[in-house]
Structure 1
Amino acid sequence: MSSFCKKTILACFAVLLLMPLLIIGTVSASDQKQYVYDHANLLTKEEIGKLEALADKLGAKRKTDFFIITTNGTNGEDIAQYTGDFYDQYGNGSTAILTIDMKKREVFIAGFKKAERYLDSSRLNSIRNTISSDISSEHYFKAFKTYITLSSKDMGIKPGVNPDLILFKWWFQLIAAVAVAGIAVAVMLFNSGGRVTVNGQTYIDNRTSDVIDQYDTYIRTTVTREKKSSDKDSGDGGGVTRGGSSYSGSRGSF
Protein backbone atom coordinates (compact mmCIF):
# COMPACT_ATOMS: atom_id res chain seq x y z
CA MET A 1 0.00 0.00 0.00
CA SER A 2 1.39 3.37 -0.98
CA SER A 3 2.15 6.09 1.57
CA PHE A 4 -0.54 8.27 -0.02
CA CYS A 5 -3.22 5.67 0.66
CA LYS A 6 -2.04 5.25 4.23
CA LYS A 7 -2.25 9.01 4.84
CA THR A 8 -5.72 9.13 3.29
CA ILE A 9 -6.98 6.30 5.50
CA LEU A 10 -5.52 7.93 8.62
CA ALA A 11 -7.12 11.27 7.72
CA CYS A 12 -10.53 9.63 7.24
CA PHE A 13 -10.15 7.78 10.51
CA ALA A 14 -9.31 11.04 12.34
CA VAL A 15 -12.35 12.78 10.84
CA LEU A 16 -14.59 9.94 12.00
CA LEU A 17 -13.19 10.25 15.53
CA LEU A 18 -13.62 14.03 15.65
CA MET A 19 -17.08 14.11 14.06
CA PRO A 20 -19.03 13.44 17.30
CA LEU A 21 -17.10 16.23 19.06
CA LEU A 22 -17.83 18.66 16.23
CA ILE A 23 -21.54 17.76 16.31
CA ILE A 24 -21.72 18.19 20.10
CA GLY A 25 -19.95 21.56 19.88
CA THR A 26 -22.35 22.76 17.18
CA VAL A 27 -25.43 21.67 19.14
CA SER A 28 -24.15 23.31 22.34
CA ALA A 29 -23.50 26.61 20.55
CA SER A 30 -26.94 26.61 18.97
CA ASP A 31 -28.65 25.79 22.28
CA GLN A 32 -26.96 28.65 24.16
CA LYS A 33 -29.54 31.16 25.36
CA GLN A 34 -29.37 34.74 24.12
CA TYR A 35 -29.41 37.41 26.83
CA VAL A 36 -28.28 40.54 24.95
CA TYR A 37 -30.43 42.00 22.15
CA ASP A 38 -28.34 44.94 20.94
CA HIS A 39 -30.60 46.33 18.20
CA ALA A 40 -29.11 49.83 18.68
CA ASN A 41 -25.53 48.57 18.11
CA LEU A 42 -24.12 49.98 21.33
CA LEU A 43 -21.75 47.08 22.00
CA THR A 44 -18.96 45.23 20.24
CA LYS A 45 -19.15 41.48 19.64
CA GLU A 46 -16.53 40.94 22.33
CA GLU A 47 -18.53 42.98 24.85
CA ILE A 48 -21.71 41.09 23.98
CA GLY A 49 -19.87 37.80 24.53
CA LYS A 50 -18.66 38.89 27.97
CA LEU A 51 -22.13 40.07 29.02
CA GLU A 52 -23.71 36.85 27.74
CA ALA A 53 -21.23 34.79 29.77
CA LEU A 54 -21.82 36.88 32.92
CA ALA A 55 -25.61 36.70 32.56
CA ASP A 56 -25.41 32.94 32.04
CA LYS A 57 -23.16 32.42 35.08
CA LEU A 58 -25.05 34.63 37.54
CA GLY A 59 -28.41 33.63 36.09
CA ALA A 60 -27.70 29.97 36.85
CA LYS A 61 -26.71 30.93 40.40
CA ARG A 62 -29.92 32.91 41.05
CA LYS A 63 -32.19 30.86 38.78
CA THR A 64 -33.07 34.13 37.03
CA ASP A 65 -32.60 35.36 33.46
CA PHE A 66 -30.89 38.75 33.11
CA PHE A 67 -31.79 40.30 29.74
CA ILE A 68 -30.49 43.45 28.05
CA ILE A 69 -32.37 45.15 25.21
CA THR A 70 -31.19 48.20 23.25
CA THR A 71 -33.41 49.69 20.56
CA ASN A 72 -33.82 52.78 18.38
CA GLY A 73 -37.55 52.96 19.01
CA THR A 74 -40.31 50.88 20.57
CA ASN A 75 -42.71 50.86 17.59
CA GLY A 76 -44.91 53.48 19.22
CA GLU A 77 -45.30 51.53 22.45
CA ASP A 78 -44.51 52.77 25.93
CA ILE A 79 -41.14 51.38 27.01
CA ALA A 80 -42.77 49.46 29.87
CA GLN A 81 -45.26 47.85 27.47
CA TYR A 82 -42.41 47.06 25.06
CA THR A 83 -40.51 45.33 27.88
CA GLY A 84 -43.60 43.42 28.97
CA ASP A 85 -44.20 42.21 25.42
CA PHE A 86 -40.58 41.02 25.25
CA TYR A 87 -41.05 39.03 28.44
CA ASP A 88 -44.26 37.47 27.14
CA GLN A 89 -42.34 36.32 24.06
CA TYR A 90 -38.92 35.35 25.43
CA GLY A 91 -39.22 35.29 29.23
CA ASN A 92 -39.77 32.17 31.28
CA GLY A 93 -40.04 32.36 35.06
CA SER A 94 -37.90 34.69 37.16
CA THR A 95 -36.55 37.39 34.84
CA ALA A 96 -34.93 40.84 35.00
CA ILE A 97 -34.89 43.04 31.89
CA LEU A 98 -32.99 46.24 31.19
CA THR A 99 -34.35 48.15 28.18
CA ILE A 100 -32.76 51.24 26.63
CA ASP A 101 -34.57 53.26 23.95
CA MET A 102 -32.02 55.48 22.23
CA LYS A 103 -34.72 57.33 20.29
CA LYS A 104 -36.51 58.69 23.36
CA ARG A 105 -33.43 58.49 25.60
CA GLU A 106 -35.27 56.30 28.11
CA VAL A 107 -34.09 53.44 30.32
CA PHE A 108 -36.38 50.94 32.03
CA ILE A 109 -35.59 48.02 34.36
CA ALA A 110 -38.22 45.45 35.29
CA GLY A 111 -38.46 42.28 37.36
CA PHE A 112 -40.89 39.44 36.65
CA LYS A 113 -42.09 36.47 38.75
CA LYS A 114 -39.56 35.77 41.54
CA ALA A 115 -37.48 38.77 40.44
CA GLU A 116 -40.54 40.98 40.97
CA ARG A 117 -40.35 40.26 44.72
CA TYR A 118 -36.58 40.49 45.09
CA LEU A 119 -36.05 43.37 42.66
CA ASP A 120 -38.80 45.68 43.88
CA SER A 121 -39.11 49.27 42.70
CA SER A 122 -36.82 50.56 45.46
CA ARG A 123 -33.99 48.20 44.55
CA LEU A 124 -34.46 48.79 40.83
CA ASN A 125 -34.32 52.57 41.40
CA SER A 126 -31.03 52.10 43.23
CA ILE A 127 -29.60 50.02 40.37
CA ARG A 128 -30.79 52.51 37.74
CA ASN A 129 -29.34 55.46 39.67
CA THR A 130 -26.02 53.62 39.96
CA ILE A 131 -25.67 53.00 36.21
CA SER A 132 -27.21 56.28 34.99
CA SER A 133 -23.89 58.17 34.88
CA ASP A 134 -22.24 55.44 32.77
CA ILE A 135 -25.19 55.39 30.38
CA SER A 136 -25.07 59.17 30.01
CA SER A 137 -21.32 58.94 29.37
CA GLU A 138 -21.93 56.21 26.76
CA HIS A 139 -20.07 53.63 28.82
CA TYR A 140 -22.72 51.07 27.97
CA PHE A 141 -20.72 47.90 28.61
CA LYS A 142 -19.80 49.03 32.12
CA ALA A 143 -23.41 50.04 32.83
CA PHE A 144 -24.81 46.71 31.62
CA LYS A 145 -22.22 44.72 33.55
CA THR A 146 -23.08 46.64 36.73
CA TYR A 147 -26.80 46.04 36.14
CA ILE A 148 -26.29 42.26 35.93
CA THR A 149 -23.96 42.19 38.95
CA LEU A 150 -26.15 44.32 41.21
CA SER A 151 -29.35 42.54 40.16
CA SER A 152 -27.77 39.19 40.97
CA LYS A 153 -26.55 40.51 44.33
CA ASP A 154 -30.01 41.82 45.25
CA MET A 155 -31.56 38.48 44.26
CA GLY A 156 -29.55 36.97 47.11
CA ILE A 157 -30.87 39.38 49.75
CA LYS A 158 -34.20 38.77 51.46
CA PRO A 159 -37.05 40.95 50.09
CA GLY A 160 -37.83 43.98 52.25
CA VAL A 161 -34.21 44.38 53.41
CA ASN A 162 -32.29 47.40 52.19
CA PRO A 163 -29.35 46.00 50.15
CA ASP A 164 -27.48 49.30 50.62
CA LEU A 165 -27.14 48.73 54.39
CA ILE A 166 -23.58 48.90 55.67
CA LEU A 167 -23.91 45.27 56.81
CA PHE A 168 -23.75 44.16 53.16
CA LYS A 169 -20.60 46.17 52.32
CA TRP A 170 -17.59 43.92 51.80
CA TRP A 171 -15.24 46.27 53.62
CA PHE A 172 -17.52 46.35 56.68
CA GLN A 173 -17.71 42.55 56.70
CA LEU A 174 -13.90 42.42 56.51
CA ILE A 175 -13.52 44.84 59.43
CA ALA A 176 -16.12 42.91 61.45
CA ALA A 177 -14.32 39.62 60.80
CA VAL A 178 -10.98 41.12 61.90
CA ALA A 179 -12.61 42.60 65.02
CA VAL A 180 -14.21 39.27 66.00
CA ALA A 181 -10.89 37.49 65.48
CA GLY A 182 -9.10 40.11 67.59
CA ILE A 183 -11.61 39.75 70.44
CA ALA A 184 -11.28 35.97 70.34
CA VAL A 185 -7.48 36.18 70.57
CA ALA A 186 -7.69 38.70 73.42
CA VAL A 187 -10.02 36.44 75.40
CA MET A 188 -7.70 33.46 74.94
CA LEU A 189 -4.68 35.49 76.03
CA PHE A 190 -6.55 36.78 79.08
CA ASN A 191 -7.61 33.31 80.17
CA SER A 192 -4.12 31.90 79.63
CA GLY A 193 -2.71 34.19 82.34
CA GLY A 194 -4.53 32.45 85.21
CA ARG A 195 -7.61 33.41 87.16
CA VAL A 196 -7.87 36.02 89.91
CA THR A 197 -9.17 34.32 93.11
CA VAL A 198 -9.49 37.45 95.29
CA ASN A 199 -13.11 38.47 95.94
CA GLY A 200 -15.22 40.47 98.35
CA GLN A 201 -14.95 37.85 101.13
CA THR A 202 -11.15 37.57 101.09
CA TYR A 203 -10.51 40.25 103.71
CA ILE A 204 -13.69 39.88 105.83
CA ASP A 205 -13.89 37.86 109.04
CA ASN A 206 -17.49 36.73 109.20
CA ARG A 207 -17.11 35.77 112.90
CA THR A 208 -16.42 39.32 114.05
CA SER A 209 -18.38 41.22 111.41
CA ASP A 210 -22.01 42.19 111.83
CA VAL A 211 -24.58 44.53 110.36
CA ILE A 212 -24.76 47.74 112.40
CA ASP A 213 -28.01 49.14 111.02
CA GLN A 214 -30.21 48.95 107.96
CA TYR A 215 -32.94 51.08 106.48
CA ASP A 216 -34.85 51.60 103.24
CA THR A 217 -36.05 54.94 102.01
CA TYR A 218 -38.96 54.96 99.50
CA ILE A 219 -38.97 58.12 97.44
CA ARG A 220 -41.61 57.83 94.71
CA THR A 221 -42.75 55.86 91.68
CA THR A 222 -43.51 57.47 88.34
CA VAL A 223 -45.51 55.75 85.59
CA THR A 224 -45.68 57.21 82.08
CA ARG A 225 -48.27 56.06 79.57
CA GLU A 226 -47.93 56.61 75.83
CA LYS A 227 -50.52 56.14 73.11
CA LYS A 228 -49.88 53.10 70.96
CA SER A 229 -49.23 53.97 67.31
CA SER A 230 -51.64 52.69 64.71
CA ASP A 231 -50.55 50.54 61.76
CA LYS A 232 -53.47 51.40 59.54
CA ASP A 233 -51.52 54.11 57.67
CA SER A 234 -48.57 51.87 56.80
CA GLY A 235 -48.41 50.12 53.45
CA ASP A 236 -46.17 48.56 50.84
CA GLY A 237 -45.88 49.37 47.18
CA GLY A 238 -47.01 46.61 44.84
CA GLY A 239 -46.20 45.50 41.33
CA VAL A 240 -47.78 46.63 38.08
CA THR A 241 -49.77 44.54 35.64
CA ARG A 242 -49.54 45.39 31.95
CA GLY A 243 -50.01 43.22 28.91
CA GLY A 244 -50.79 40.15 31.01
CA SER A 245 -47.52 40.25 32.97
CA SER A 246 -47.06 41.50 36.54
CA TYR A 247 -43.75 43.22 37.25
CA SER A 248 -41.82 45.71 39.34
CA GLY A 249 -40.19 48.52 37.42
CA SER A 250 -38.03 51.65 37.41
CA ARG A 251 -37.77 54.14 34.57
CA GLY A 252 -35.70 57.21 33.87
CA SER A 253 -34.16 59.39 31.16
CA PHE A 254 -30.54 59.92 30.17
Structure 2
Amino acid sequence: MPYIQRHAPLRQEDLSIDSIGPVVMAIGTSQFPEKLFASLTRLMPVDHCAAFQIFQVAHPAKRIFSASRTDADFAMRASHRYADEYWLHDPCLKTRDTGSLAILHQCWNAIPHSAFREECYVAPQVVDRLSILMGLSDGDRILLSMFRHRKTGFFSEWETDSLRKMARVLVACVVKHASFAGAVQTPAKTCLSNREQAVADLLIAGLTVDSVARSLSLSPSTIETYRKRLYAKLDVRSRVALASRIREISQAQATDPCHPAKF
Protein backbone atom coordinates (compact mmCIF):
# COMPACT_ATOMS: atom_id res chain seq x y z
CA MET A 1 0.00 0.00 0.00
CA PRO A 2 1.58 3.33 -1.02
CA TYR A 3 2.03 6.17 1.44
CA ILE A 4 1.66 9.83 0.58
CA GLN A 5 4.21 12.32 1.88
CA ARG A 6 2.38 15.33 3.31
CA HIS A 7 5.16 17.86 3.80
CA ALA A 8 6.76 20.70 1.92
CA PRO A 9 9.97 20.01 -0.06
CA LEU A 10 13.31 20.94 1.44
CA ARG A 11 14.86 24.25 0.56
CA GLN A 12 18.58 24.55 -0.13
CA GLU A 13 18.98 27.16 2.61
CA ASP A 14 17.64 24.64 5.14
CA LEU A 15 20.79 22.56 4.59
CA SER A 16 23.23 25.26 5.72
CA ILE A 17 25.89 24.27 8.24
CA ASP A 18 24.67 27.25 10.28
CA SER A 19 21.48 25.34 11.05
CA ILE A 20 23.33 23.16 13.58
CA GLY A 21 24.78 26.12 15.50
CA PRO A 22 22.35 25.57 18.41
CA VAL A 23 23.32 21.89 18.43
CA VAL A 24 27.01 22.71 18.85
CA MET A 25 26.21 25.13 21.68
CA ALA A 26 24.19 22.39 23.47
CA ILE A 27 26.90 19.71 23.37
CA GLY A 28 27.41 18.25 26.82
CA THR A 29 24.11 19.60 28.18
CA SER A 30 20.68 18.07 28.77
CA GLN A 31 19.35 20.21 25.91
CA PHE A 32 21.43 18.42 23.28
CA PRO A 33 18.83 15.81 22.19
CA GLU A 34 16.17 18.49 21.81
CA LYS A 35 18.46 20.80 19.82
CA LEU A 36 19.71 18.03 17.56
CA PHE A 37 16.15 16.88 16.91
CA ALA A 38 15.11 20.44 16.08
CA SER A 39 18.03 20.69 13.65
CA LEU A 40 17.03 17.43 11.97
CA THR A 41 13.44 18.61 11.55
CA ARG A 42 14.75 21.72 9.80
CA LEU A 43 16.49 19.43 7.33
CA MET A 44 13.44 17.21 6.78
CA PRO A 45 10.28 16.07 8.59
CA VAL A 46 11.21 13.60 11.36
CA ASP A 47 8.93 12.04 13.97
CA HIS A 48 11.52 10.32 16.19
CA CYS A 49 15.28 10.04 16.37
CA ALA A 50 17.75 8.03 18.42
CA ALA A 51 21.52 7.58 18.68
CA PHE A 52 23.52 4.54 19.74
CA GLN A 53 27.06 3.29 20.12
CA ILE A 54 27.47 -0.16 18.55
CA PHE A 55 30.45 -1.90 20.11
CA GLN A 56 32.94 -4.00 18.21
CA VAL A 57 32.56 -6.91 20.61
CA ALA A 58 29.23 -8.64 21.19
CA HIS A 59 27.24 -7.09 24.02
CA PRO A 60 24.27 -4.72 24.23
CA ALA A 61 24.54 -1.50 22.29
CA LYS A 62 24.77 1.78 24.19
CA ARG A 63 21.78 4.11 23.94
CA ILE A 64 23.06 7.68 23.79
CA PHE A 65 19.71 9.48 23.57
CA SER A 66 16.30 9.55 21.93
CA ALA A 67 13.92 12.39 21.04
CA SER A 68 10.46 12.65 19.53
CA ARG A 69 8.00 15.11 18.04
CA THR A 70 4.94 13.08 18.99
CA ASP A 71 5.69 10.45 21.66
CA ALA A 72 8.83 10.75 23.78
CA ASP A 73 7.86 7.74 25.93
CA PHE A 74 7.66 5.47 22.89
CA ALA A 75 10.98 6.77 21.56
CA MET A 76 12.65 6.06 24.90
CA ARG A 77 11.13 2.57 25.25
CA ALA A 78 11.91 1.60 21.67
CA SER A 79 15.48 2.88 21.88
CA HIS A 80 16.12 0.92 25.08
CA ARG A 81 14.69 -2.24 23.50
CA TYR A 82 16.88 -1.69 20.46
CA ALA A 83 19.99 -1.21 22.60
CA ASP A 84 19.26 -4.27 24.73
CA GLU A 85 18.27 -6.70 21.99
CA TYR A 86 17.00 -5.57 18.61
CA TRP A 87 20.30 -4.17 17.32
CA LEU A 88 21.29 -7.82 16.85
CA HIS A 89 18.50 -8.15 14.27
CA ASP A 90 19.01 -4.83 12.49
CA PRO A 91 19.69 -5.38 8.76
CA CYS A 92 21.41 -1.99 8.56
CA LEU A 93 24.19 -3.15 10.86
CA LYS A 94 24.94 -6.06 8.56
CA THR A 95 25.89 -3.70 5.73
CA ARG A 96 29.40 -4.39 4.46
CA ASP A 97 32.03 -2.32 2.68
CA THR A 98 30.44 1.00 3.58
CA GLY A 99 33.67 2.72 4.55
CA SER A 100 33.80 5.00 7.56
CA LEU A 101 30.35 6.53 6.96
CA ALA A 102 27.16 5.29 5.31
CA ILE A 103 23.62 6.61 4.85
CA LEU A 104 21.21 3.69 5.23
CA HIS A 105 17.51 3.58 4.30
CA GLN A 106 15.34 0.95 6.00
CA CYS A 107 11.60 0.45 5.36
CA TRP A 108 9.48 -1.28 7.98
CA ASN A 109 8.56 -4.26 5.79
CA ALA A 110 12.21 -5.09 5.04
CA ILE A 111 12.94 -6.00 8.67
CA PRO A 112 12.90 -9.81 8.90
CA HIS A 113 12.78 -10.14 12.70
CA SER A 114 9.06 -10.25 13.55
CA ALA A 115 9.21 -9.02 17.16
CA PHE A 116 11.49 -6.11 16.24
CA ARG A 117 9.26 -5.20 13.30
CA GLU A 118 6.03 -5.43 15.30
CA GLU A 119 7.13 -3.57 18.43
CA CYS A 120 9.15 -0.76 16.88
CA TYR A 121 7.42 -0.29 13.52
CA VAL A 122 4.01 -1.91 13.00
CA ALA A 123 2.38 -1.15 16.36
CA PRO A 124 3.47 2.54 16.50
CA GLN A 125 2.88 2.93 12.72
CA VAL A 126 6.51 3.80 11.99
CA VAL A 127 7.10 3.05 8.31
CA ASP A 128 10.56 4.35 7.44
CA ARG A 129 14.02 4.95 8.89
CA LEU A 130 16.99 6.91 7.62
CA SER A 131 20.27 6.32 9.45
CA ILE A 132 23.83 7.59 9.55
CA LEU A 133 26.30 4.84 10.47
CA MET A 134 29.85 6.00 11.16
CA GLY A 135 32.85 3.98 12.27
CA LEU A 136 35.08 5.16 15.12
CA SER A 137 38.82 4.68 15.29
CA ASP A 138 38.54 1.88 17.87
CA GLY A 139 36.23 -0.21 15.68
CA ASP A 140 33.00 0.80 17.39
CA ARG A 141 30.26 2.54 15.40
CA ILE A 142 27.83 5.39 16.00
CA LEU A 143 24.29 5.00 14.66
CA LEU A 144 22.04 8.07 14.36
CA SER A 145 18.57 7.13 13.11
CA MET A 146 15.55 9.20 12.06
CA PHE A 147 12.04 7.70 11.86
CA ARG A 148 8.77 8.60 10.16
CA HIS A 149 5.18 7.68 10.86
CA ARG A 150 2.77 6.46 8.22
CA LYS A 151 1.14 9.88 7.89
CA THR A 152 4.50 11.59 7.37
CA GLY A 153 5.55 9.20 4.63
CA PHE A 154 8.79 7.73 3.33
CA PHE A 155 12.13 9.50 3.03
CA SER A 156 12.88 10.56 -0.53
CA GLU A 157 16.12 9.99 -2.44
CA TRP A 158 16.66 13.74 -2.47
CA GLU A 159 16.42 13.86 1.32
CA THR A 160 18.81 10.94 1.61
CA ASP A 161 21.35 12.71 -0.58
CA SER A 162 20.84 15.94 1.35
CA LEU A 163 21.42 14.23 4.69
CA ARG A 164 24.70 12.87 3.35
CA LYS A 165 26.01 16.45 3.07
CA MET A 166 25.42 17.04 6.78
CA ALA A 167 26.12 13.53 8.07
CA ARG A 168 29.69 13.93 9.32
CA VAL A 169 28.92 17.15 11.15
CA LEU A 170 25.80 15.71 12.79
CA VAL A 171 27.53 12.54 13.94
CA ALA A 172 30.59 14.48 15.12
CA CYS A 173 28.26 16.45 17.38
CA VAL A 174 26.76 13.22 18.73
CA VAL A 175 30.20 11.75 19.43
CA LYS A 176 31.39 14.91 21.16
CA HIS A 177 28.24 15.16 23.27
CA ALA A 178 28.47 11.48 24.21
CA SER A 179 32.09 11.87 25.28
CA PHE A 180 31.13 14.71 27.62
CA ALA A 181 28.15 12.73 28.91
CA GLY A 182 30.23 9.59 29.37
CA ALA A 183 28.22 7.63 26.83
CA VAL A 184 30.91 6.75 24.30
CA GLN A 185 33.24 4.67 26.37
CA THR A 186 34.04 1.06 27.15
CA PRO A 187 31.25 0.19 29.55
CA ALA A 188 33.18 -2.69 31.08
CA LYS A 189 35.15 -0.27 33.24
CA THR A 190 32.17 -0.01 35.63
CA CYS A 191 32.89 -1.74 38.96
CA LEU A 192 30.29 -3.24 41.28
CA SER A 193 30.27 -3.58 45.04
CA ASN A 194 30.43 -7.09 46.50
CA ARG A 195 26.71 -7.03 47.30
CA GLU A 196 25.77 -5.66 43.87
CA GLN A 197 27.79 -8.44 42.27
CA ALA A 198 26.08 -11.06 44.43
CA VAL A 199 22.62 -9.79 43.52
CA ALA A 200 23.56 -9.60 39.84
CA ASP A 201 24.88 -13.19 39.84
CA LEU A 202 21.68 -14.55 41.37
CA LEU A 203 19.43 -12.59 39.04
CA ILE A 204 21.42 -13.80 36.05
CA ALA A 205 21.06 -17.36 37.34
CA GLY A 206 17.31 -16.96 36.97
CA LEU A 207 16.24 -16.51 40.59
CA THR A 208 13.23 -14.34 41.33
CA VAL A 209 13.55 -11.25 43.50
CA ASP A 210 11.99 -13.16 46.42
CA SER A 211 14.43 -16.06 45.98
CA VAL A 212 17.40 -13.70 45.84
CA ALA A 213 16.14 -12.03 49.02
CA ARG A 214 15.94 -15.36 50.84
CA SER A 215 19.39 -16.39 49.61
CA LEU A 216 21.00 -13.18 50.89
CA SER A 217 18.81 -12.80 54.00
CA LEU A 218 17.49 -9.46 52.79
CA SER A 219 14.00 -8.12 52.13
CA PRO A 220 12.50 -8.33 48.63
CA SER A 221 12.24 -4.52 48.59
CA THR A 222 15.98 -4.26 49.21
CA ILE A 223 16.72 -6.66 46.37
CA GLU A 224 14.40 -4.71 44.09
CA THR A 225 16.35 -1.56 44.98
CA TYR A 226 19.60 -3.32 44.11
CA ARG A 227 18.12 -4.57 40.84
CA LYS A 228 17.08 -1.06 39.82
CA ARG A 229 20.49 0.27 40.85
CA LEU A 230 22.27 -2.37 38.77
CA TYR A 231 20.15 -1.65 35.70
CA ALA A 232 20.78 2.09 36.03
CA LYS A 233 24.49 1.72 36.79
CA LEU A 234 25.11 -0.58 33.83
CA ASP A 235 22.51 1.08 31.57
CA VAL A 236 20.57 -2.11 30.83
CA ARG A 237 16.87 -2.97 30.97
CA SER A 238 16.72 -6.78 31.03
CA ARG A 239 18.41 -9.79 32.62
CA VAL A 240 19.83 -10.84 29.27
CA ALA A 241 21.48 -7.45 28.85
CA LEU A 242 22.66 -7.55 32.48
CA ALA A 243 24.31 -10.94 31.95
CA SER A 244 26.12 -9.72 28.84
CA ARG A 245 27.34 -6.57 30.57
CA ILE A 246 28.55 -8.53 33.64
CA ARG A 247 30.54 -10.88 31.39
CA GLU A 248 32.14 -7.87 29.76
CA ILE A 249 33.07 -6.40 33.14
CA SER A 250 34.64 -9.69 34.25
CA GLN A 251 36.74 -9.88 31.10
CA ALA A 252 37.93 -6.30 31.53
CA GLN A 253 38.78 -6.78 35.19
CA ALA A 254 40.92 -9.78 34.30
CA THR A 255 43.35 -7.44 32.52
CA ASP A 256 42.60 -4.07 34.16
CA PRO A 257 41.06 -4.72 37.57
CA CYS A 258 39.49 -2.02 39.72
CA HIS A 259 38.71 -2.32 43.38
CA PRO A 260 35.01 -2.85 44.13
CA ALA A 261 33.45 -0.52 46.64
CA LYS A 262 32.71 -1.90 50.06
CA PHE A 263 29.12 -2.78 50.83
How does the TM-score come out when normalised to structure 1? 0.23
Which one has the largest radius of gyration? Answer: 1
Which structure's residues are more often helix, by fraction? Answer: 2
How does the TM-score come out when normalised to structure 2? 0.22
